[in-house]
Amino acid sequence: MIRIKSAREIQLMRRAGKITAAARALAGKMVAPGVTTLEIDRAVHDFIVSQGAVPTFLGYGGYPANLCISINDQVIHGIPDGNTVIREGDVVSIDVGATKDGYVGDCAATFIAGRAKDQEAEKLVSVTRQSFFEGIKFARQGFRISDIGSAIQQYVEANGFSVVREYVGHGVGREMHEEPEVPNFGRPGHGPRLVRGMVIAVEPMVNAGGWPVKVLKDGWTVVTQDGSLSAHYENTILITDGEPEILTVCEEQV
């Protein structure tokens, strides 16, 4: 069942979204050569807690960390640890969630540590981010869910990259994953119709090579099958009477 949010719920989700976006910005600033992923994880945990919120990811389905940090060929769900040191040119995807007063914010972005190794890495990060904005042009009342994913796929493939199929966006509210699923690919004109008060996470996951992925032995980390680079960009958005409202924003917007 798709849950339509009340005015009060939307206000609570704005607060959760603001904290989540600020946590993403903090993590992004920390992405630099020589920094361990565990350092970023701890800093984000401390920040979220300082805001009276809870790290949504910690313990979710048994997940052992406060956020996901996925590097280079890792697509999503990379687990921070003290042994993983970020290196010059690494492509680092940060995915974070915060729960405040019972409501969830969820967002992600990809950063390059120091100087990019090549132009393809820079283009991948840029195209992934822009594909989100191409998709949400159709995140308006009256369109259908697949209109968003179709626009994302067309933009990504026109730029020579591929869209991950196995993982998709989703509704957000009291739970991090609610209905409906929001694929980043497909034909337009399918799926539930968008109506005012729906809150969804749109999150293109884009590979420099082919779209197939696999899960590593840790049961969490998803990597590209061909070893190509991957990038991720996500915001929680509200469907309104007009333009969609991005709920995961803060003063230092990523």
Q: Which CATH superfamily is domain 7-246 in?
A: Creatinase/methionine aminopeptidase superfamily (3.90.230.10)
Q: Is the pLDDT of residue 147 over 80?
A: yes
Say what the pLDDT of residue 88 is.
98
Please name every residue paired with 2 in a beta bridge, in sequence order, or none if there are none: 179
Count the Cβ atoms, other than its own, within 10 Å of residue 160: 11
At 18, which helix (H) or strand (E)? helix 7-30
Contacts of 31 (CB under 8 A, 6+ apart): 40, 86, 90, 92, 94, 111, 112, 113
**3-state SS, residue 103:** strand
Structure confidence by residue, pLDDT tens digits, 25-51: 999 999 999 999 999 999 999 999 999
Structure confidence by residue, pLDDT tens digits, 193-247: 999 999 999 999 999 999 999 999 999 999 999 999 999 999 999 999 999 999 9
Four-residue CA torsion sign, 107, 28, 218, 129 = positive
d(CA 67, CA 70): 10
Q: What is the CA radius of gyration of the chain?
A: 17
Q: Find tokens 């120091």 and name the residue.
A: 114
Q: Is the pLDDT of residue 254 over 50?
A: no
Helix locations, 51-159, DSSP H: 119-135, 145-158
Rounded mean pLDDT, 171-177: 98
Helix axis angle for 119-135 and 145-158, nearest 10°, is 160
Nearest to 77 by CA among 99, 61, 100, 98: 61
Q: Is the pLDDT of residue 250 over 90?
A: no
Say what the pLDDT of residue 31 is.
98
Rounded mean pLDDT, 139-163: 98
Say what the pLDDT of residue 246 is.
98
DSSP state of 193: B
**3-state SS, residue 100:** strand
Say what the pLDDT of residue 251 is.
66
Q: Find tokens 């032995």 and name the residue.
A: 217
Question: Beta strand pairing status for 205-207 and 178-182?
Answer: unpaired
Q: Is the pLDDT of residue 186 over 90?
A: yes
Percent of the chain with pLDDT over 90: 98
Domain ranges in the chain are: 7-246
The chain-wide mean pLDDT, for the chain, equals 97
Rounded mean pLDDT, 126-143: 98
Q: Find tokens 């042009």 and name the residue.
A: 137
**3-state SS, residue 200:** strand
Q: Are 111 and 28 in contact (CB under 8 A)?
A: yes
Q: Is the pLDDT of residue 73 over 60?
A: yes
Say what the pLDDT of residue 252 is.
57
